[in-house]
Chain A
Amino acid sequence: MASNLNSVKTNNAVRVFLSDWVGIISLLVIVVIFGCILFAPLLTDYVEQGLGAPGLERLNPPSQDYLMGTDRLGRDLWSRLLFGGRISVLLAVLVVSLALVVGTPLGIIAGYFGGWVDEVIMRIVDVFLAFPPLLLAIFMAAILEPGLLNMVLAIALGWWPWYTRIARAQVLSYRQRPFVEAAEFMGVRHTKIMFRHLLPFVGPPVLIQATLDLGSAILTVAALSFLGLGLPPPTPDWGQIISEGRVYFPDRWWYVTFPGLAIFITALAFNLLGDSIRSSINPDKEI
């Protein structure tokens, strides 16, 4: 009689996660946010305003008609947040995805082959890590033409090395295991060893980092937009809205407060979710 160690591990992880109410609440918040963003047109009467069309009631405080007030061009703020959220979250997801997709395989390759391959990759990583990510993003965004892809690229440039490091560390710790040596001995191709044998071990820490990074990505995207380095208007992105609303603070407090809260809650939810997932996955134990 023996229990299936892998399914016991997963069951435990799920059970631990479910007992952590912070994690559950974060997950629910994220689901709600995604839902709102996805179904944006259904949640507001002012769809065109959300997309940029100016309205008549400028700088109105929150009221029954305008849930979160209006901005300087008379556009309903709630609608702007809904549609702006699409951009902010999309950008964040793209940034993290790009960093992950570029960084992880490099880390696996570096850890697997070692030697000069490892040296070269890690020195490149060191170069990129020498720059504070935000500064690098600002610099790149300033050089490149404004646009969605360029913005994603600018931010991802500072983030991919972290994934390389994480992936490499995992690969190094499993590289010497007998099952890897057995596969090498049997003549299995390098790519198969890296991606079928080692990738399942690399996956979990990378995904946790990605979840945490989504939170930071939201902040970074907002920061760039706030500084005017984001997407060209009228695309409403949360950071941009704050940038517009800055001069009206504190009289027209809603202009800055609501997008600020949106960024804060979203980033916080991703961070807490990532933490929660991390605590529910125990470190791999030696069998």
Chain B
Amino acid sequence: MKDYLDVKNLVVEAPRKEGVIKLVDGVSFILGKGEILGIVGESGSGKTITCTAILGLLPTSMKKSASVLKLEGQSLLSKTHNQICGNLMSMIFQDPAAALNPVFTVRSQINAVLKRHSSLSAGERRKRLHQLLIDVGLPDPVRVAASFPHELSGGMQQRVLIAMALSTGAKLLIADEPTTALDVTVQAQILELLSDLRERLGLSIIFISHDLAVISQVCDRVAVMLHGKIVEHGEVGAVLGNPQHEYTQALLASSLGQHDVGSTLPTIAASQFMDARYDK
């Protein structure tokens, strides 16, 4: 698999009362074409900032730098977010209801994206819209297209957002905790959809989550982040089956669902992994 997305030594700095701190501290990874990479970490690990930095969506107070930040050989460092977002890659988030405009129908929202990112005629757009909704597994595309977001369930809303992300023509999708707010059975369907899209459309996906079980289900490789750094990465099975870094081990150990019913869980003591960035 050729290197689709190449990131080396990405650093994001933000000003704080104590001085400038590195929210992302030298993160490097590679995403192959058609690959699903998981980034797992807890709050404050920098997993979301890493991706917003790649998209060029950082707030102006934060500074980013990287030795390499390339998509298909082209450097992204000099591009504005307008050039990157949508055209080259897109992102979906945790709360689908919040990402959709409640006063416009699904059709008009996706249409707006199609207009911006393609030069199709109105008729062609209508066909493409229809196809996209089918691609994301929505059973009744005509009805869904005419609906308002609040008329759809959480799972359907997330599918609509995935359709919107695909409608831009981007081949790289960043999914930030896309199933955390959804019911378990719906989550399973969305995960299946993402795998399916990877198979059929050759979509490359960066999947951010705090849930190791979800990552193990859908990702090929995984990177574990702690305090702005990647502490371990590799094939999902290998990393989770044989974790090398203390933090990965601790995270695995305290994950629910693997221990005996009713047992007391091993925990990570707060003192075990201190955040050195804030010690002054």
Contacts and interface: CB of A to CB of B under 8 A. Distances in A.
Q: Touch between A and B in complex, CB under 8 Å?
A: yes
B92 to A, nearest CB: 20
Interface in A1-32: 1
B167 to A, nearest CB: 29
3 contacts: A1-B44, A1-B275, A1-B278
Contacts of A1: 44, 275, 278
Contacts of B275: 1
Interface residues of A, number: 1
Contacts of B44: 1
A1 B275 CA distance: 8
Nearest to A286: B98
A1 B228 CA distance: 14
A8 to B, nearest CB: 9
Interface SS majority for chain A = loop
A5 to B, nearest CB: 14
The bracket for how many chain B residues form the interface is under 10
A1 to B, nearest CB: 5
A242 to B, nearest CB: 49
A241 B4 CA distance: 79
Nearest to A8: B17
A1 B44 CA distance: 9
A1 B278 CA distance: 8
Interface in B224-279: 275, 278
Nearest to B279: A1
Nearest to A2: B44
Nearest to B98: A286
Nearest to A11: B17
Interface string B22-39: 000000000000000000
Interface string A145-170: 00000000000000000000000000
A1 B23 CA distance: 14
Nearest to B275: A1
Nearest to A1: B278
Contacts of B278: 1
Top 3 A-B pairs, shortest CB-CB distance? A1-B278, A1-B275, A1-B44
A197 to B, nearest CB: 26
A1 B18 CA distance: 13
A99 to B, nearest CB: 36
B113 to A, nearest CB: 26
Interface in B157-196: none
A271 to B, nearest CB: 30
A48 B275 CA distance: 70
